[in-house]
């Protein structure tokens, strides 16, 4: 006995074709996001068009792999620059992320925001990366960047008046200058709420 089975070709509706295209696109986004989250140094090279030194690539990867990172370096080693790169990459790859930058003085913490804006507005920056930024402000009272995907990066005060903030990522610039009690009782408490991606809702 020979039985031949043939699938009857069902013509898809326009809505189904559109949904198939969206599914293929989102599958690609999912794969690339996973790849770049595992290799942030490649994201910097491919997406931002910035060539980092080998030691900077290693430090950046370690910052993404471990929940606590400390980078001790002398003057001119590019600490603020690397922090700015980290903030850009983290904000883009993790939609809805909230980054808070604290330092002994607000002006020092605002240097990271200024460096981020310098990278985003640089001559070599592509239009794609420029479009990632939605809004920014630098003033004595506040300094922040809001990203198009819902992420935000802002400066907070490392003092008693800084209570009530929430963050998924906390950066302590020149942390040795910040009082240990402020770090333990105020700044670390910012991390009480984990990041909530859209699919969790």
- What confidence tens digit (pLDDT) does each residue in 125-149 have? 777 788 888 888 888 888 899 999 8
Among residues 116, 92, 113, 88, the alpha carbon closest in space to that of 103 is found at: 113
Q: What is the pLDDT of residue 103?
A: 85
Task: Evaluate if residue 85 carries a pLDDT over 60.
Answer: yes
pLDDT of residue 38: 93
Q: Give which of 74, 78, 71 is closest to 171, Cα–Cα.
A: 71
What is the pLDDT confidence band of residue 201, given thresholds at 50, 70 and 90?
low
Distance separating alpha carbons of residues 78 and 71, to the nearest angstrom: 11
Separation of alpha carbons 108 and 110, rounded Å? 5
With 80 as the cut, is the pLDDT of residue 25 above it?
Answer: yes
Give residue 56's pLDDT. Answer: 93
Question: Helices 79-93 and 54-65 meet at what angle, rounded to 10?
Answer: 50
Q: What number is the average pLDDT over the span 75-80?
A: 84
**Looking at residues 44-63, what average pLDDT do you find?**
91
Mean pLDDT of 101-109: 84
50 pLDDT higher than 60: yes
Alpha-carbon gap, residue 111 to 57, rounded angstroms: 21
Q: Is the pLDDT of residue 4 over 60?
A: no
> Which residues are bridge partners to 156 per DSSP?
102
- What percent of the chain has a predicted confidence (pLDDT) above 70? 90
Is the predicted pLDDT of residue 58 greater than 70, yes or no? yes
- Mean pLDDT, residues 179-185 taken together: 81
- Please report, for residues 1, 74, 170, the alpha-carbon distance to residue 99 in angstroms, rounded to integers and kept in the order given: 68, 25, 6
Which has the higher per-residue pLDDT, 49 or 195? 49
The pLDDT value given to residue 110: 86
């Amino acid at each position: 006995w020979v039985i031949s089975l043939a699938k009857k070709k069902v013509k898809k509706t326009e809505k189904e074709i559109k949904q198939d295209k969206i599914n293929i696109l989102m599958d690609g986004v999912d794969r690339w996001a996973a790849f770049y989250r595992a290799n942030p140094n490649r994201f910097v090279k491919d997406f931002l068009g910035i060539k980092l030194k080998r030691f900077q690539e290693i430090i950046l990867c370690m910052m993404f792999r471990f929940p606590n990172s400390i980078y001790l370096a002398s003057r001119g080693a590019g600490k603020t620059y690397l922090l700015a790169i980290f903030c850009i990459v983290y904000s883009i790859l993790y939609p809805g992320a909230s980054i808070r930058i604290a330092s002994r003085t607000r002006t020092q913490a605002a240097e990271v925001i200024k460096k981020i804006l310098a990278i985003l507005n640089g001559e070599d920056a592509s239009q794609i990366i420029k479009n990632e930024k939605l809004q920014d402000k630098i003033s004595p009272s506040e300094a922040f960047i809001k990203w198009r995907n819902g992420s935000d990066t802002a400066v907070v005060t490392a003092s008693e008046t800084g209570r009530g903030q929430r963050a998924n990522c906390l950066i302590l610039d020149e942390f040795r200058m910040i009082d240990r009690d402020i770090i333990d009782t105020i700044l670390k408490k910012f991390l009480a709420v984990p990041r909530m991606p859209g699919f969790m809702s």
